[in-house]
Amino acid sequence: MTTPVAARGSIVPIILRRMRVPIIVLITAYALAVFGFTLMPGVDDQGEPWRMTFFQAFYVVSYTGSTIGFGEVPYDFSNAQRLWTMVSIYLTVFAWLYSVGTIIALIQDTDFRNALLRTRLLRSLHGIREPFYLICGYGDTGKLLARALLGRKQRVVVIDRDMTNVEELRSRDSGIYVPAFCMDAEVPGNLIDAGLQHPWCAGVLAVTDNDHTNLKVAIATKLLNRDILVFCRVDTEETANNMLSFGTDLVVNPCEDFAQRLVMGMREPDAHRVYDWLTSLPNAPLPHRPEPPQGRWIICGFGDFGRAVYRALREAGLSVLVVAEAVDDCPPGSIPGKGTEAVTLNQAGISEADALVACTDDDADNLSIMVTARQLNPDIYMVSLENRLYNRELFRAANPALPVQASYLTASRFLSVLSAPMLRDFLEQSARQGNDWNHTLVKRLAEISGDMTPDCWTITLGDRQAPAVMQAQALGEPVQLGNLCRDPRKRRDRLNAVPLMLRRGGECLLLPDDDTLLQAGDRMLWCGTPQAEALLGWNLHHLNSLRYVHTGAHRPDGWVWRHLARRRAAGDS
Amino acid sequence: MNLEKVVFGFFILLALTLNFGFFLGEIDNPEHHNVYELFAAIIVSLIATVLKFGERTQIGAVLLASSLVADLQLISAAIVWAVAVHVLDIGLTPAVMASIVSLSGGALLANAVSTILLTVETVTLHR
């Protein structure tokens, strides 16, 4: 019963194909039974011999076959007819049992159910009429991405190889229906099924835990649908370079990313803070982290993460000691061991060290390293890697100075680029501005954010996103940036939003001044609270709000009021 | 040799020949048209239809359609027969017989189309 089910298309052919034999059996059984009845000699109520016509025979077989039992019509049967009735009963009843059994087996068949599910998913996918993102891999990162995108009312489609992940997603009530396919993202055909070439597919987010799979997804996307974004997570530098070589839009290596930020946090703590706040997932408490010390570092675990941190710290000119189980490919002078025991940590000179990085692949080991290290040196600055999100509570209790979640890092980087494509440029430029410049910005961000991480968004000045500004300009009332930042309910208050960057033509203006005059086609990057974003929308969309924040006067807008105002003005003059 | 093709070819041809056998004769003479032949034609035609279930090819779909048309015509003929003889009690008058046979003639045409399609499919397949 395990005929392979065809990958695509409707399930009706599958049912029909499976039902071929049972239906033929039924037809044959009925045909035989009917035919036999027409041949059996009978005796009517006058004692005359008679034979059933096909009509009568079919009638008798119809009620016999369905085991209804109607007695013997139109006359009492002869023995020959009774004999044939018995044959027909067994023939037709067994044919029915067989057919019904086949249907039941078909319904229970997993292949069939998968095909059924797939058909339903494909149908729901074809019904999507808004941009959606295709998430490959529903691990920790995929979950974070899906949750955040759904929170912004954006549609997502998920592919994962693991059935349990997919089931978990299906049982979760996300408010918006999420088509979840249980298949291998490495196969391009599967990606196409999941909507890679769908006209509304806006981007592919490859976040499986396998570099090779992510690479294949990126290649498939670039070859099969050049116009959409593809973001990838990678673990090694070579794969990252490979992906960038064919135009992958964003490649995030969480290890490398974190290592760079760690060094940035030491050198330019405020620049790091700006970076940290703007790229965090929105609506989380604003992180206030102590600065990493510039002294002796110990790294426990030398995987991808340990390596990246080691390299970055060495480049920053710090003294670093590695503790690892296999010291063969570690830098010279490394200490063999896990780091979970006091002996090893003492050997590594824990009491004189300033900072410790616990980044083994095992969360239990990382926790154990932290607890042991804290007993030996209570003041040590601790960085810990959280491999799995579900261990979060434990890490929170252990309270490292700098917790690192690879999945969170990746997801937040993806999201910050997705929600505000200009943010990447801004961060690149702001990092070059020096710590003082960033310090001012940090203060301003802290003022507006209300201790929650701010949202970032972009606005293009045009008829669609800012009709009021366009109208005002057409009426000869140029709009100053500072006016846009006022509260449309009370113009003395400023909105909790900061224009971070303005792009006009090829030029970028960082933190534009209040008296900047806006022009059509300007693109602006904003950050602030979601409420400020909504209020800003009023200024951008309603000419009256815009005029109010501009001049402070409420102007009549309805036809009657305008007319009256004009008469009043005429009367005054 | 493809067993599926053989079985299907057998049934579609058998449906055609049985149908032809029933159709042959004076159109309104009940003596010339055997009820058993009509019965056999219906059964064989039904089986041929079922054999085309779940076919994904274009030609398979057209074969299924023509087969369904033949079934419809033959079953209509059988219903006309049953109604005339058993329900209305007018018996097999020449008019009734003529309509039964003409219905089976329609089925014959549909079966012929099926056979032609089958031949076309086979010929293109072997090229």
Query: Average pLDDT over chain B, rounded to whole?
Result: 89
Comparing CB atoms, the residue among B39, B56, B81 nearest residue A35 is B39
Q: Looking at per-residue confidence, does A320 or A2 come out higher?
A: A320
What is residue B100's predicted lDDT score, i.e. its pLDDT? 93
Q: Mutation test of the interface with chain B: which of A5, A20, A30, choosing the one with the most B Cβ atoms within 10 A? A: A20
Six-digit token string for A520:
């059509």
Q: Please state whether beta strands A229-233 and A201-206 pair in parallel, antiparallel, or not at all (unpaired).
A: parallel
DSSP A302: -
Instruction: Identify the band that residue B40 occupies on the pLDDT scale cut at 50, 70 and 90.
Output: very high
Residues of chain A in Cβ contact (below 8 Å) with chain B: 6, 9, 13-20, 23-24, 27-28, 31, 34-35, 38, 53-56
Q: What percent of chain A has pLDDT over 90?
A: 12
Which pLDDT score is estimated for A377? 87
The position carrying tokens 């399609």 is: B117
Give me the pLDDT at residue B125, please. 64
Residues B8-30, mean pLDDT to the nearest whole number: 91
- Give the alpha-carbon dihedral of A356, A362, A363, A369, to 10 degrees: -40
Counting every residue, how long is chain B?
Answer: 127
DSSP codes, A286-298: PP--PPPPSSEEE
Confidence of residue B126 (pLDDT cuts 50, 70, 90): low
Distance CA A168, CA A174 (A): 11
Whether A4 has a pLDDT exceeding 50, the answer reads no
pLDDT digits (tens, 9 = 90+) for A13-36: 778 888 888 999 999 999 999 999
Mean pLDDT within A45-50: 88
Flag whether pLDDT at A428 surpasses 90: no
Distance between alpha carbon A212 and the CA centroid of its chain, in Å?
A: 20
A9 neighbourhood in chain B, CB within 8 Å: 56
Strands A132-136 and A155-160: parallel
Average pLDDT over residues A423-434: 83
What is the pTM (predicted TM-score) of this model? 0.67
pLDDT (tens digit per residue) in B58-67 = 888 888 899 9
Type of residue numbered B47: I
Taking each helix axis as running N to C, give the angle between helix A12-39 and helix A110-126, from 0 to 180 degrees, rounded to the nearest 10: 130
**In whole angstroms, what is the distance from residue A177 CA to residue B84 CA?**
58
> Mean pLDDT, chain A, as a whole number?
84
Which bin fits B54, alpha (ψ -120 to 50), beta or left (φ > 0)?
left
DSSP collapsed to 3 states, A307-360? HHHHHHHHHCCCEEEEEECCCCCCCCCCEECCCCCHHHHHHCCCCCCCEEEECC
A·B CB contacts under 8 A: 49
Locate A355 and state its tokens.
């900072």
The answer to whether B39 contacts A19, with C-beta atoms less than 8 Å apart, is no
Single-letter residue type at A452: M
Angle subtended at Cα A261 by Cα A248 and Cα A523, rounded to the nearest 5 degrees: 55
**Mean pLDDT of all residues in A390-396:** 85
Cα–chain-centroid distance for residue A350? 41
Which one, of A269, A264, A305, A267, lies nearest residue A287 by Cα?
A269
What's the confidence (pLDDT) of residue B76? 94
pLDDT band at A554 (very low <50, low <70, confident <90, very high): low
- Edge-to-edge strand list for the sheet holding A497-504: A455-460, A523-528, A497-504, A507-510
Asked if B50 lies within 8 A of A23 by C-beta distance, the reply is: yes
Q: What is the pLDDT of residue A2?
A: 33
A285: pLDDT confidence band, cut at 50, 70 and 90? confident
A16, A99, A102: best mutation site toward chain B, by most B Cβ within 10 Å?
A16
The residue-averaged pLDDT of A465-482 equals 84
Q: Please report residues of B whose CB lies closer than 8 A to that of A18.
A: 54
Q: Are the CB atoms for A297 and A349 separated by under 8 Å?
A: no
Scan for tokens 């976040």, then name that residue. Answer: A207
In this predicted model, what pLDDT tens digit does every residue of A63-106 receive, in sequence order?
A: 888 777 777 878 888 888 888 988 898 899 899 999 999 989 98
**Half-sphere exposure at residue A236, Cβ-oriented, CA atoms within 13 angstroms:** 9
Phi first, then psi: give them for residue A498, nearest 5 degrees. -125, 125
Q: CA dihedral defined by A62, A68, A70, A72, rounded to 10 degrees?
A: 60
Nearest residue, CB atoms, B46 vs list A6, A16, A27: A27
Dist. CA A119–CA A133, nearest whole Å: 20
pLDDT score, position A136: 93
Of A356, A484, A300, A501, whose CA–CA distance to A420 is shortest? A501
Chain B residues inside the 8 Å CB shell of A56: 86
Question: What's the confidence (pLDDT) of residue A8?
Answer: 47
Bridge partners of A319, per DSSP, are: A296
Give strand pairing partners of A404: A385
Count other Cβ atoms within 10 Å, centred on residue A446: 15
- What would the mean pLDDT of B103-125 be, rounded to a whole number? 88
Identity of residue A494:
R
Q: Does B43 touch chain A (CB under 8 A)?
A: yes
Quick one: pLDDT at residue B111?
A: 93
CB spacing of A53 vs B35 below 8 angstroms: yes
Cα nearest neighbour of A52 on chain B: B86
* Cα separations in angstroms, A554 against A290, A489, A561: 49, 11, 12
Sequence-separated (6 or more) residues with CB below 8 Å from residue B125: none
- Residue A5's pLDDT band, with cuts at 50, 70 and 90, is very low
Instruction: Determine contact, residues B66/B117, Cβ cutoff 8 Å.
Output: yes
DSSP label at residue A517: B
Mean pLDDT on A111-125: 84
Q: What is the pLDDT of residues A310-352, one digit of tens each?
A: 888 888 888 888 888 877 778 887 888 887 888 888 888 888 8
> Out of A13, A35, A55, whose CB is closest to B54?
A13
Q: Do B50 and A20 touch (CB under 8 A)?
A: yes
Q: Which residue bears the tokens 């203006």?
A: A509
Nearest CB to B53 within list A17, A35, A55:
A17
Distance from CA of B109 to the nearest CA of A (A): 23
Residues of chain B numbered 54-93 and touching chain A (CB < 8 Å): 54-56, 78, 81-82, 85-86
Q: Say how far apart CA A518 and CA A475 lie, in whole Å.
A: 14
Rounded Cα gap, residues A199 and A27, in angstroms: 47
What is the reported pLDDT for A7? 43
Predicted confidence (pLDDT) at residue A555 exceeds the cutoff of 80: no
Dihedral pair phi/psi, residue A454, rounded to 5°: -75, 160
Q: Are B70 and B26 in contact (CB under 8 A)?
A: no
Greatest extent of chain B over all pairs of C-alpha atoms, in Å = 56
Angle at A69 between CA A65 and CA A70, to 5 degrees: 120
Structure-block tokens of residue A196: 């890679």
- Is the separation of the CB atoms in A218 and A244 below 8 Å? no
Q: Looking at the predicted complex, does its ipTM rise above 0.90?
A: no
**What is the rounded CA–CA span in Å between residue A268 and residue A279?**
17
Q: Give per-residue pLDDT as tens, A177-235.
A: 888 888 888 888 888 888 888 999 999 999 998 889 999 999 999 999 888 889 999 98
| Average of per-residue pLDDT across A340-367 | 86
Interface contact A31-B39, CB threshold 8 A: yes
Across the interface, do B43 and A15 touch by the CB < 8 Å criterion?
no
pLDDT higher at A87 or A573:
A87
Query: How many angstroms separate the CA atoms of A260 and A431, rounded?
Result: 12
Residue A11 is given by DSSP the state: S
Contact A155, A127 (CB under 8 A): no
* Choice among A144-158, A280-294, A387-401, A424-438 with the minimum mean pLDDT: A280-294
Residue B86 and residue A56: Cβ atoms within 8 Å? yes
Q: How far is CA A237 from CA A241, A250, A314, in A?
A: 6, 14, 18
Q: Provide the token pair at B44.
A: 């064989």
A112-126, A399-413, B72-86: range with highest mean pLDDT: B72-86
> Which amino acid appears at position A58 of this protein?
F
User: How far does A14 lie from chain B, in Å, by closest CA?
Assistant: 6
